[in-house]
A and B are shown apart, each in its own frame.
Chain A
Amino acid sequence: MTTVENSATRVDNSKTPVVLGGTRGGPDQPTLRTDRWWLAPVITVAILSSFVVYATWAAFVNKDYYAGASMHRDLISPFYSPCLTQGCITSGASIGGHVLSWWTISPALLILIFPLGFRMTCYYYRRAYYRSFWWAPPACSVSDAHKSYSGESKFPLIMQNVHRYFFYFGLIFNVLLTYDAIMAFREPGRGLGWGVSVGTLVLIVNAVLLWCYSLSCHACRHLCGGQVRSFSKHPIRAKLWKFVTPLNAKHMQFAWVSLFFVAFTDIYVRLVASGTITDFRLF
């Protein structure tokens, strides 16, 4: 029987010199691409900036984020959930109560830190904003706009490595928003006290999309099972990994759709709460 020798003569190869320099081929131009490579970064900048502008506005207005008993509804905007102020406690929608009665400016400012951090450190959004805002690189085989480059290996970008902690917080928020979606079936002071309205569906779709976004996260895939060396020794983790992997392949789509839908849900609740539209009752 033969055994593999692991310890015989060993060479330290970590210091092999790389030959540098030499003239490169092709003309000295930022790119030779002739297609519309700038279109994708432009669209990304437009969408992400509009979202940031809208979210900032929505976070500061601090009103119309809740449609409560006076409207026979129990709908809360995802930007203001969990409900931390007195504005919505009478309903019992969301968890939290008026724990922060001393906090006088918009509670959304406290809440949004978490989803914002989650998305800012998301591997997909990183790709999107590194390309479109930071131009490193703006598109493939188009020169990046920086003299020197160290990527995510130094401060501050090395902080992107906290992403999995934002993922954990994201899960807590998903639970809260799922709770809100269930509460959206309530119709206080009317008939049986429950029913389904367009608002109910909006909150449910929003919660489902946020779950899809979180479960398709790369950190989630790693923590589920990607981490292990041997799938056969960890069959349950291998199963979890197999479950999230197809979702992970759609992470980019979930990232965009859930972003749109969160904003849409906020707009919808806002329109209902301000009395601009009535939340149509389905059954």
Chain B
Amino acid sequence: MSDITMRVWRGDQNGGAFENYVMPKVEGEVILDVIHRIQATTAPDLAVRWNCKAGKCGSCSAEINGKPRLLCMTRVDQLPEGEPVTVTPMRTFPVIRDLATDVSFNFEMARKVPAFNPIPKPEEGYRMQQIDVERGQEFRKCIECFMCQDVCHVIRDHEENKPKYAGPRFFIRYAELEMHPLDTNDRRELVREKMGLGMCNITKCCTEVCPEHIKITDNAIIPLKERVVDADFDPVAWLGRKILRRTKRTSEEAAVQPD
């Protein structure tokens, strides 16, 4: 079998450069296999994060030929034959070393999501109908690979937006909570004012890269945007709220974590 040229970015906080590794091709391999072979042969100090090798742990996210991909789910034979394969760390987050990035931005944003805040437990216990269970199921498939966060141009190309932007992975979490029949919080003002929902311009790159094929934009972001329209931009809905004396929560009220 022929050879494969791997152009792997090597570096850390002090900068870095590409290094080429020419490896013999092996039938049926994924890029992570080739990286492991490089580690085992010429570059034992090449840093790469991985765990399951089955596309389920979300650890091996990186960029292959410029696109966010899971290293363990990208087969060598899916890539253009005869061309070098470029492997770089995720662009949006600070690099730790080689292909490993510091994704703590995402954990900060995860902490900010006000947790599920259910109605008091009724006599007969909590009950949820299947139809309501199914609705949020899609969002629970997320493996937290953070490739959607990586590809999102709002923070990929604009570092300064990070403090005020939760990102697609957390928009699906907000959407799931807002669609939960037992939840009592109202996070619409919070996602608009503090979580940057309005900065998303629904260009759908998050949906394109999601390895779990979650319809992030169609099923979470746009429904959230429509909920924000209900809360803030629809005069008829505003009038309805006045007449029915309904209130919405401010972002501060919504951000309070239940116990």
Instruction: Tell me whether A and B are bound partners.
Output: yes
Binding site for B on A (CB under 8 A): 1-6, 8-14, 16-27, 31-35, 123, 126-127, 130-131, 136-137, 140-141, 143-144, 146, 148-154, 157-158, 161-164, 218-219, 222, 226-227, 229-233, 238, 248-249
- Tell me if A164 and B255 are in contact (CB < 8 A): no
B208 CB–A CB distance under 8 Å: yes
Total inter-chain residue pairs, C-beta < 8 Å: 224
Among A22, A162, A248, contact of B218 (Cβ-Cβ < 8 Å):
A248
B184 partner residues in chain A, CB cutoff 8 A: 6
- Tell me if A141 and B108 are in contact (CB < 8 A): no
* B203–chain A nearest beta-carbon distance, Å: 5
CB-CB nearest 10 A-B residue pairs = A22-B94, A153-B198, A25-B95, A32-B66, A25-B89, A14-B255, A230-B181, A232-B129, A140-B205, A33-B66
Closest A residue, CB atoms, query B118: A4
B59 CB–A CB distance under 8 Å: no
If A6-B184, A23-B94, A248-B218 are given as contacts, then 17 extra A-B residue pairs at C-beta distance below 8 Å, sorted by A number, are A4-B121, A12-B252, A14-B251, A18-B105, A18-B162, A21-B94, A22-B93, A25-B99, A33-B67, A34-B86, A140-B203, A149-B154, A150-B198, A152-B201, A161-B228, A222-B227, A229-B180
B99 partner residues in chain A, CB cutoff 8 A: 25
Interface of B is mostly: mixed
Known: A10-B259, A143-B157. A25 touches B90 (CB 8 A): yes
- Tell me if B65 and A34 are in contact (CB < 8 A): yes
Closest A residue, CB atoms, query B197: A153
Known: A20-B163, A218-B226, A230-B132. A33 touches B257 (CB 8 A): no
* B107–chain A nearest beta-carbon distance, Å: 10
Among B94, B199, B203, contact of A137 (Cβ-Cβ < 8 Å):
B203
- Tell me if B86 and A32 are in contact (CB < 8 A): yes
Instruction: Determine the distance from Cα of A18 to Cα of B163 in the docked complex, in whole angstroms.
Output: 6
- Tell me if A13 and B199 are in contact (CB < 8 A): no
Known: A1-B121, A226-B226. A232 touches B257 (CB 8 A): no
Instruction: Determine the distance from Cα of A143 to Cα of B105 in the docked complex, in whole angstroms.
Output: 20
- Tell me if B208 and A140 are in contact (CB < 8 A): yes
Instruction: Determine the distance from Cα of A149 to Cα of B152 in the docked complex, in whole angstroms.
Output: 12
Binding site for A on B (CB under 8 A): 9, 11-18, 63, 65-68, 80, 83, 86, 88-95, 98-99, 101-102, 104-105, 108-109, 111-112, 114, 117-118, 120-121, 123, 129, 131-132, 135, 151, 153-154, 156-163, 178-181, 183-184, 190, 194, 196-205, 208-209, 218, 222-223, 225-230, 232-234, 251-252, 255-259
